[in-house]
Structure 1
Amino acid sequence: MLYIQFEIQNTSKFEDFQTLYNHMVKVRQPSFKFDDVGPEFDWDTMPEEEVEAALKELNTFLDQQVQPEIYRYKELIPRYAKEFLENYLQNENKKSGYFGEPDALSIFNYLEFGFEVDMDQLKKTNDSFGIVEFSTENYPFGGLERFIMTLAAYELKPVTCFDGFNTCKFHWMSPFEYETVISTKKNHFTKITKWISNSFVKKSFF
């Protein structure tokens, strides 16, 4: 079980993150499908006073279908989190010498499909701290960096994590930069190596 423990610096933003977390759980369900059918109305029998609301609902659905991932991004990620993630990407671009426009949609795409984990649990451990737990059968699984920065965007500041190999503590140097310090190794490396070996053997037969 992988996890990230975090400090809750803003309770209302924790509630905002719960909305995104619930979406991440939903899209990972085996039978999940995005709605591409849309609403159906009996226009012939619909009362005139309901037509305007029905047209609005239909137009909203059609707008969603043009660029559905952008619509989901706008609906699910609050403005303050978008600004944080764009500033983070701009900071990363500057370090790498790339001066293109930062696009936080790439992080949303990662949260939906690039972060190859099952979201197991999100909860408060007390009024000031919480934990998000996840598991995976894939290695590598998309990495933790962008998920860590997503938590930070909601003022859920990561303090410790287990990344599959080590339990680490975070030392934040700026809003977008941190160091991790290994606090314990135990037998995690042996367990993960055994699991990777077993997965490779299993996959080689199919």
Structure 2
Amino acid sequence: MYNHLVAVRQPDFDFGNEEPDFDWNSMSQKEMEEAFIKIDEASDKVALELERCQNTIPEYATSFLKKYLKIDNDKLGQLGTQKVLSIFNYLEFGFEVDFNHLEINATNGIIEFSTGNFPFGGLERFFITLKAFNMIPTECFDGFSVNEIQWESDFEYDFVELKNETEAYIQKFKS
């Protein structure tokens, strides 16, 4: 997932969803009908996005995200429903960050990301996505301060500001 999110943020990234090229002059009627179906499939952006989502997010993570979304959807009622695809779309295109570095060891990992849009939103969906992959966020710089993330349940958390860590973190960029 991390590699996918890094890749889609690259300037020349190509999803590789090119429309197929056919030699129409030498095709039978049946081959043309099959070609039209392939063209329709290649131009169905939602289907292509769904396929990317299914290829990127494993079933165990999808199951976790569905549980999270059920709570949100119950709150929304008739206002609308969200699906796993909405989180995937947000992470691909709406979460305006650049992923700078990933560091993993036996017990934890650090994902460094940056944005030019402070304050920025979307951390909750990012945190929930991390949890879906069994990576529990414990600390985050939210654009203003470094916070400890205290999980109240699988999907709810509170921030506790860490003043000393915030000062040290900000000082890093002043020097």
Normalising by the smaller structure, the TM-score range is: 0.7 to 0.9
* Paired residue type of 2:127: I
1:186 maps to 2:167? yes
TM-score relative to the length of structure 2: 0.75
Partner residue of 2:26?
none
Compared with structure 1, are the counterparts of its residues 116 and 135 closer, same or farther at alpha carbon in structure 2 (3 Å cutoff)? same
Q: Find the residue that maps to 1:186 and give its secondary structure.
A: helix
1:36 maps to 2:22? no
8 Å Cα contact 1:172-1:179 kept in structure 2 = yes
Partner residue of 1:161?
140
Deviations 1:140-168, CA, capped at 9 Å, x for gaps? 43421100000000110011111111111
Superposed CA RMSD: 2.9
In structure 2, distance between residues paired with 1:61 and 1:140: 42
In structure 2, distance between residues paired with 1:140 and 1:60: 43
1:109 maps to 2:89? yes
TM-score relative to the length of structure 1: 0.65
Deviations 1:19-76, CA, capped at 9 Å, x for gaps? x1111111101111221336779xxxxxxxxxxxxxxxxx999756532111101111
More strand, by proportion: 1
Pairing 1:22-33 to 2, within 5 Å after superposition: 22-33=3-14
- How far the C-alpha of 1:102 sits from its partner, in A, is 4.2
In structure 2, distance between residues paired with 1:140 and 1:21: 22
In structure 2, distance between residues paired with 1:145 and 1:101: 17
Flag structure 2 segments of 5+ consecutive residues without an equivalent: 23-36
Partner residue of 1:198?
none
State the percentage of identical aligned residues: 46
**Greater relative contact order (Cα < 8 A, sep 6+):** 1
Count residues with an aligned counterpart. Answer: 155
Aligned mate of 1:152, from 121, 128, 131: 131
8 Å Cα contact 2:130-2:137 kept in structure 1 = yes
Q: Find the residue that maps to 1:156 and give its secondary structure.
A: coil
Partner residue of 2:31?
none
